[in-house]
């Protein structure tokens, strides 16, 4: 098939819409179920590139959760501990590595992942399909599906769930084009391979960069390569825990992603883990309630007449001091940036969310100030010399 007609473009008034290959080439993908739209395919193709690159860089299965052409989460297929199983709403029993990758990617920012597009670096198995089936999601892209997985996914959303299979060996043309306002742009495809060789220029006094931090730096850089700029992301244990995308100011990216990282960590607070939810509460309602409970607006969900719709009994308030004390325990976090940090304020904000390792291109006229700020806190910072803007 050389082209695929779509229902409409970004918005219902934008017709006609299609995806196609030039020069009568065959599309490297196949729709196995559903009818993906224009934005679905933008998410699918960007997320597929991300997970393919993560697998190539680390050798581990990878997954991503995409919304509006940026990742809400990305992760490697590492085992889940007991707390992660609880906060990611994982099913009981042994889970495959690709299912773990998906749960960690989806669980990084469950609010932003609501109605997401999922990408898997490896064949989707029954474990992963069962996890997908429990979530509000638009579709999934993977290099293949087991018969069991496909039978599960084909009944999701009353049979309308979007399932796309992509050729894992497909390579794009070296030139890519897009049209804006009737004018065609052309540039070389960003085929930059992100490897450990980019992490050798350690510019801080502290040069102790352990293997797990190097892996997290790769996760950060590859995630940023497919995130709308300006962008930064916080990574811990092989998964993003906060992504800030599309902001005009880098400090706002750093704050936004840092706030998400704090929320990810606060969801592991004993008071949050012990929240007495009603037995039949739906997953999105649970996620919204947790977000309200740990935010400054937590009184909204605990107000008389409101909490009864969520909890069996009124829970104890999580105080501002308790939250601050818990966040202060977050550590060994990696921060990545798609372009240089222009001021040390980004480093100061990152420190508040447990950042110990930083990877960025460097090249600011204030690099010395940024390095000095990192040195003040004993951080390790690598300059890659590579910018990763994505638009």
**Which sequence positions are flagged as catalytic?**
67-68, 230, 391
d(CA 391, CA 9): 18
The beta-strand segments (E) located in 84-157 are: 116-120, 137-142
Residue 321 burial (CB < 10 Å; 0-12/13-18/19+)?
exposed
Phi, psi of 302 (to 5 degrees): -100, -5
CA 118 to chain centre: 10
d(CA 73, CA 50): 11
Helix, strand, or coil here: 309?
Answer: helix
Residue 24 per-residue DSSP state = G
d(CA 337, CA 254): 9
d(CA 265, CA 261): 6
CB < 8 Å & 24+ apart, contacts of 314-317: 315/271, 315/274, 315/275, 315/276, 316/271
The closest alpha carbon to 388, from 346, 340, 324, belongs to 340
Angle at 155 between CA 70 and CA 140, to 5 degrees: 20
């Amino acid at each position: 098939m050389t082209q695929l007609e779509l229902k409409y473009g970004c918005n219902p008034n934008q017709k006609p819409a299609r995806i196609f290959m030039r020069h009568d080439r065959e599309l490297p993908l196949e729709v196995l179920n559903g009818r993906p739209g224009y934005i679905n395919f933008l998410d699918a193709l960007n997320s597929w590139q991300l997970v393919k690159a993560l697998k190539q860089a680390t050798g581990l299965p990878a997954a991503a959760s995409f919304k509006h052409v940026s990742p809400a989460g990305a992760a490697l297929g590492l085992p889940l501990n007991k707390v992660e199983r609880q906060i990611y709403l994982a099913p009981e029993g042994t889970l495959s590595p690709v299912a773990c990758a998906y749960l960690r990617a989806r669980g990084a920012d469950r609010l932003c992942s609501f109605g997401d597009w999922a990408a898997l670096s490896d064949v989707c198995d029954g474990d992963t399909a069962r996890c997908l089936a429990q979530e509000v999601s638009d579709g999934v892209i993977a290099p293949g599906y087991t018969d069991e997985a496909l039978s599960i996914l084909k009944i999701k959303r009353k049979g309308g769930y979007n399932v796309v299979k992509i050729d894992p060996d497909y390579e794009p043309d070296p030139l890519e084009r897009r049209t804006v306002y009737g004018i065609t742009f052309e540039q070389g495809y960003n085929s930059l391979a992100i490897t450990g060789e980019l992490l050798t220029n350690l510019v801080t006094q502290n040069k102790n960069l352990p293997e797990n931090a190097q892996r997290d730096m790769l996760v950060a850089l590859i995630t940023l390569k497919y995130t709308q700029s300006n962008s930064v992301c916080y990574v811990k244990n092989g998964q993003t825990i906060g992504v800030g995308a599309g902001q005009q100011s880098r400090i706002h990216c750093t704050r936004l992603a840092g706030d998400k990282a704090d929320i990810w960590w606060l969801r592991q607070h004993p008071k949050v883990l012990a929240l007495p939810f009603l037995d039949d509460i739906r997953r999105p309602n649970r996620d919204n309630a947790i977000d309200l409970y740990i935010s400054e607006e937590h009184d909204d969900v605990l107000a008389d007449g409101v909490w009864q719709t969520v909890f069996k009994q009124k829970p104890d308030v999580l105080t501002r001091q308790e939250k601050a004390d818990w966040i202060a325990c977050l550590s060994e976090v990696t921060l990545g940036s798609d372009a240089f940090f222009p001021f040390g304020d980004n480093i100061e904000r990152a420190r508040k969310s447990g950042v110990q390792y930083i990877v960025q291109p460097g090249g600011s006229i204030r690099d010395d100030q940024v390095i000095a700020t990192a040195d003040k806190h004993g951080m390790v910072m690598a300059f890659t010399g590579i910018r990763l803007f994505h638009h």
